[in-house]
Amino acid sequence: MGKIKKICPHVWQVGGGNLSRGEDCCVYFVESEGEGAIIDCGAGASAGMIMDNIKSGGFNPDSIRYIIITHGHIDHIGGLHTIKDETQAKVVAHQLELPAVEEGLPHLTAAAMYRVNYIPVKVDVVLSGDDSITLGNLTINCPHTPGHTPGGISPYVDIDGQRVLFGQDIHGPFSKSWGSNMNDWRKSMQNLLDLEADILCEGHFGIYSPGREVRKYIEGYLKQYS
Protein backbone atom coordinates (compact mmCIF):
# COMPACT_ATOMS: atom_id res chain seq x y z
CA MET A 1 0.00 0.00 0.00
CA GLY A 2 0.97 3.61 -0.35
CA LYS A 3 2.91 5.74 -2.83
CA ILE A 4 1.39 7.55 -5.78
CA LYS A 5 -0.16 6.70 -9.17
CA LYS A 6 0.29 9.00 -12.16
CA ILE A 7 -2.83 9.36 -14.30
CA CYS A 8 -1.65 11.94 -16.82
CA PRO A 9 0.58 15.03 -16.76
CA HIS A 10 -0.22 17.09 -13.64
CA VAL A 11 -2.66 14.53 -12.14
CA TRP A 12 -2.08 11.67 -9.67
CA GLN A 13 -4.13 9.36 -7.50
CA VAL A 14 -2.84 9.55 -3.92
CA GLY A 15 -5.50 7.73 -1.91
CA GLY A 16 -8.18 5.06 -2.20
CA GLY A 17 -7.83 1.77 -4.00
CA ASN A 18 -4.61 0.11 -2.87
CA LEU A 19 -2.99 3.45 -1.98
CA SER A 20 -4.68 3.87 1.42
CA ARG A 21 -7.37 2.25 3.55
CA GLY A 22 -10.34 0.51 1.98
CA GLU A 23 -12.93 2.88 3.43
CA ASP A 24 -11.43 5.86 1.61
CA CYS A 25 -12.81 7.33 -1.56
CA CYS A 26 -10.30 7.81 -4.34
CA VAL A 27 -8.22 10.88 -3.54
CA TYR A 28 -6.60 12.85 -6.34
CA PHE A 29 -3.83 15.45 -6.56
CA VAL A 30 -3.39 18.10 -9.24
CA GLU A 31 -0.18 20.15 -9.61
CA SER A 32 0.75 23.11 -11.81
CA GLU A 33 3.59 25.62 -11.62
CA GLY A 34 4.55 24.46 -8.13
CA GLU A 35 1.00 24.72 -6.75
CA GLY A 36 -1.10 21.75 -5.68
CA ALA A 37 -4.73 20.87 -5.07
CA ILE A 38 -6.11 17.79 -3.31
CA ILE A 39 -9.51 16.51 -4.39
CA ASP A 40 -11.26 14.88 -1.41
CA CYS A 41 -9.59 13.51 1.70
CA GLY A 42 -10.71 9.97 2.49
CA ALA A 43 -12.47 8.79 5.64
CA GLY A 44 -9.82 9.99 8.08
CA ALA A 45 -7.78 7.12 9.50
CA SER A 46 -5.30 7.19 6.61
CA ALA A 47 -4.99 10.98 6.21
CA GLY A 48 -1.34 10.74 7.24
CA MET A 49 -0.75 8.01 4.67
CA ILE A 50 -2.32 10.16 1.96
CA MET A 51 -0.01 13.04 2.86
CA ASP A 52 2.97 10.65 2.85
CA ASN A 53 1.94 9.51 -0.63
CA ILE A 54 1.91 13.12 -1.83
CA LYS A 55 5.34 13.71 -0.32
CA SER A 56 6.65 10.53 -1.97
CA GLY A 57 5.90 12.20 -5.31
CA GLY A 58 8.27 15.03 -4.39
CA PHE A 59 5.55 17.50 -3.47
CA ASN A 60 5.83 19.84 -0.48
CA PRO A 61 2.70 20.17 1.69
CA ASP A 62 3.39 23.92 1.89
CA SER A 63 2.79 24.18 -1.86
CA ILE A 64 -0.77 22.81 -1.61
CA ARG A 65 -3.14 25.74 -2.12
CA TYR A 66 -6.54 24.05 -2.19
CA ILE A 67 -8.46 21.09 -0.82
CA ILE A 68 -11.47 20.63 -3.08
CA ILE A 69 -14.39 18.75 -1.50
CA THR A 70 -16.75 17.17 -4.02
CA HIS A 71 -19.44 16.52 -1.38
CA GLY A 72 -19.85 16.09 2.35
CA HIS A 73 -19.89 12.32 2.92
CA ILE A 74 -17.48 11.05 5.52
CA ASP A 75 -15.41 8.91 3.14
CA HIS A 76 -14.60 12.15 1.30
CA ILE A 77 -14.21 14.59 4.24
CA GLY A 78 -13.13 12.48 7.23
CA GLY A 79 -9.45 13.34 6.68
CA LEU A 80 -10.12 17.02 5.99
CA HIS A 81 -9.21 18.33 9.45
CA THR A 82 -5.85 16.53 9.49
CA ILE A 83 -4.90 17.46 5.94
CA LYS A 84 -6.01 21.08 6.38
CA ASP A 85 -3.96 21.30 9.57
CA GLU A 86 -0.81 20.06 7.83
CA THR A 87 -1.12 22.05 4.61
CA GLN A 88 -3.00 25.20 5.66
CA ALA A 89 -4.64 24.98 2.23
CA LYS A 90 -7.95 26.68 1.48
CA VAL A 91 -10.96 24.38 1.62
CA VAL A 92 -13.29 24.61 -1.40
CA ALA A 93 -16.88 23.32 -1.33
CA HIS A 94 -20.35 24.19 -2.57
CA GLN A 95 -22.56 26.23 -0.27
CA LEU A 96 -25.16 23.45 -0.09
CA GLU A 97 -22.55 21.15 1.49
CA LEU A 98 -21.73 23.53 4.36
CA PRO A 99 -24.12 21.83 6.81
CA ALA A 100 -22.10 18.65 6.31
CA VAL A 101 -18.57 20.06 6.10
CA GLU A 102 -18.79 22.98 8.56
CA GLU A 103 -21.44 21.67 10.96
CA GLY A 104 -20.87 17.94 10.61
CA LEU A 105 -24.59 17.08 10.72
CA PRO A 106 -24.45 13.28 11.02
CA HIS A 107 -27.38 12.49 8.72
CA LEU A 108 -25.56 14.43 5.98
CA THR A 109 -22.03 13.13 6.53
CA ALA A 110 -23.20 9.51 7.00
CA ALA A 111 -20.39 9.23 9.55
CA ALA A 112 -22.19 6.50 11.48
CA MET A 113 -21.81 4.15 8.51
CA TYR A 114 -18.02 4.30 9.01
CA ARG A 115 -17.99 4.76 12.79
CA VAL A 116 -15.97 7.94 12.35
CA ASN A 117 -16.00 10.98 14.64
CA TYR A 118 -15.95 13.82 12.13
CA ILE A 119 -14.27 17.11 13.09
CA PRO A 120 -15.99 20.03 11.31
CA VAL A 121 -13.82 22.34 9.19
CA LYS A 122 -14.50 25.86 7.93
CA VAL A 123 -14.85 26.23 4.16
CA ASP A 124 -12.68 29.06 2.84
CA VAL A 125 -13.93 29.19 -0.75
CA VAL A 126 -17.70 28.76 -0.96
CA LEU A 127 -18.99 27.85 -4.41
CA SER A 128 -22.47 28.88 -5.46
CA GLY A 129 -22.74 27.84 -9.10
CA ASP A 130 -20.48 26.63 -11.88
CA ASP A 131 -17.38 28.27 -10.45
CA SER A 132 -13.67 27.75 -11.13
CA ILE A 133 -10.34 28.18 -9.39
CA THR A 134 -6.89 28.87 -10.80
CA LEU A 135 -3.99 26.56 -9.98
CA GLY A 136 -0.72 27.63 -11.56
CA ASN A 137 -1.48 27.80 -15.27
CA LEU A 138 -4.47 25.45 -15.01
CA THR A 139 -8.14 26.25 -14.48
CA ILE A 140 -10.05 23.76 -12.34
CA ASN A 141 -13.72 24.10 -13.24
CA CYS A 142 -16.15 23.11 -10.49
CA PRO A 143 -19.63 22.63 -11.99
CA HIS A 144 -22.48 22.01 -9.58
CA THR A 145 -23.75 18.46 -10.13
CA PRO A 146 -26.49 17.77 -7.57
CA GLY A 147 -28.20 14.43 -7.24
CA HIS A 148 -26.12 12.19 -5.00
CA THR A 149 -26.10 15.13 -2.55
CA PRO A 150 -27.55 18.64 -2.98
CA GLY A 151 -24.21 20.43 -3.29
CA GLY A 152 -22.09 17.90 -5.15
CA ILE A 153 -19.53 19.19 -7.64
CA SER A 154 -17.63 17.40 -10.40
CA PRO A 155 -14.38 19.27 -11.05
CA TYR A 156 -12.66 19.01 -14.41
CA VAL A 157 -9.47 20.39 -15.92
CA ASP A 158 -8.15 20.60 -19.48
CA ILE A 159 -4.53 19.46 -19.79
CA ASP A 160 -2.57 19.12 -23.02
CA GLY A 161 -5.70 18.64 -25.11
CA GLN A 162 -7.29 16.15 -22.70
CA ARG A 163 -10.24 16.82 -20.40
CA VAL A 164 -9.86 15.17 -16.99
CA LEU A 165 -13.10 14.81 -15.01
CA PHE A 166 -13.24 14.09 -11.28
CA GLY A 167 -16.70 12.51 -11.13
CA GLN A 168 -17.02 11.28 -7.58
CA ASP A 169 -19.91 8.93 -6.71
CA ILE A 170 -21.53 8.91 -10.13
CA HIS A 171 -22.80 5.47 -9.13
CA GLY A 172 -24.62 6.65 -5.98
CA PRO A 173 -25.77 5.42 -3.53
CA PHE A 174 -28.87 7.54 -3.03
CA SER A 175 -30.82 8.34 0.12
CA LYS A 176 -33.43 10.92 1.08
CA SER A 177 -31.68 11.21 4.46
CA TRP A 178 -28.80 13.13 2.88
CA GLY A 179 -30.86 14.86 0.21
CA SER A 180 -30.46 12.70 -2.89
CA ASN A 181 -32.62 13.67 -5.84
CA MET A 182 -32.78 11.33 -8.82
CA ASN A 183 -34.15 13.92 -11.25
CA ASP A 184 -31.29 16.26 -10.39
CA TRP A 185 -28.83 13.37 -10.70
CA ARG A 186 -30.01 12.45 -14.20
CA LYS A 187 -29.63 16.06 -15.33
CA SER A 188 -26.16 16.20 -13.76
CA MET A 189 -25.11 13.00 -15.51
CA GLN A 190 -26.23 14.41 -18.84
CA ASN A 191 -24.19 17.53 -18.13
CA LEU A 192 -21.17 15.34 -17.47
CA LEU A 193 -21.71 13.48 -20.73
CA ASP A 194 -21.86 16.83 -22.52
CA LEU A 195 -18.37 17.64 -21.22
CA GLU A 196 -16.98 14.81 -23.39
CA ALA A 197 -14.20 14.03 -20.92
CA ASP A 198 -11.22 11.98 -22.06
CA ILE A 199 -10.36 10.67 -18.59
CA LEU A 200 -12.72 10.00 -15.67
CA CYS A 201 -11.24 9.89 -12.18
CA GLU A 202 -14.12 8.24 -10.36
CA GLY A 203 -14.74 8.31 -6.61
CA HIS A 204 -14.50 4.62 -5.78
CA PHE A 205 -13.87 2.57 -8.90
CA GLY A 206 -10.72 4.10 -10.35
CA ILE A 207 -9.82 5.57 -13.72
CA TYR A 208 -11.69 5.32 -17.02
CA SER A 209 -10.22 6.25 -20.41
CA PRO A 210 -10.48 6.97 -23.34
CA GLY A 211 -13.59 9.08 -23.81
CA ARG A 212 -15.77 6.23 -25.05
CA GLU A 213 -15.13 4.35 -21.79
CA VAL A 214 -16.05 7.46 -19.79
CA ARG A 215 -19.31 7.75 -21.70
CA LYS A 216 -20.03 4.03 -21.33
CA TYR A 217 -19.50 4.23 -17.57
CA ILE A 218 -21.87 7.18 -17.05
CA GLU A 219 -24.50 5.87 -19.47
CA GLY A 220 -24.42 2.51 -17.72
CA TYR A 221 -25.60 4.07 -14.47
CA LEU A 222 -28.18 6.21 -16.24
CA LYS A 223 -29.60 3.01 -17.69
CA GLN A 224 -29.44 1.22 -14.34
CA TYR A 225 -31.42 3.97 -12.61
CA SER A 226 -33.82 4.71 -15.51
pLDDT, tens only, 102-137:
999 999 998 888 788 899 999 999 999 889 999 999
Give tens-digit pLDDT for 148-163: 999 999 999 999 999 9
Question: pLDDT of 75-87, one tens digit each?
Answer: 999 999 999 999 9
Q: What pTM does this model have?
A: 0.97
Q: What φ, ψ does residue 204 adopt, rounded to 5°? A: -140, -15
Query: Over 80: is that where the pLDDT of 42 sits?
Result: yes
26-43 residues labelled b (16+ CB within 10 A) or e (exposed): bbbbbbbeebbbbbbbbb
* Cα–Cα distance, 91 to 73 (Å, whole number): 15
Contact 23/58 with Cβ under 8 angstroms? Answer: no
Separation of alpha carbons 4 and 64, rounded Å:
16
Percentage above 70 pLDDT, the chain:
100
Domain 5-224 = CATH 1.20.1090.10:
no
Q: What is the pLDDT of residues 186-218, one digit of tens each?
A: 999 999 999 999 999 999 998 999 999 999 999
Whether 88 shows a pLDDT value over 80: the answer reads yes
Position 168 scores a pLDDT of: 83
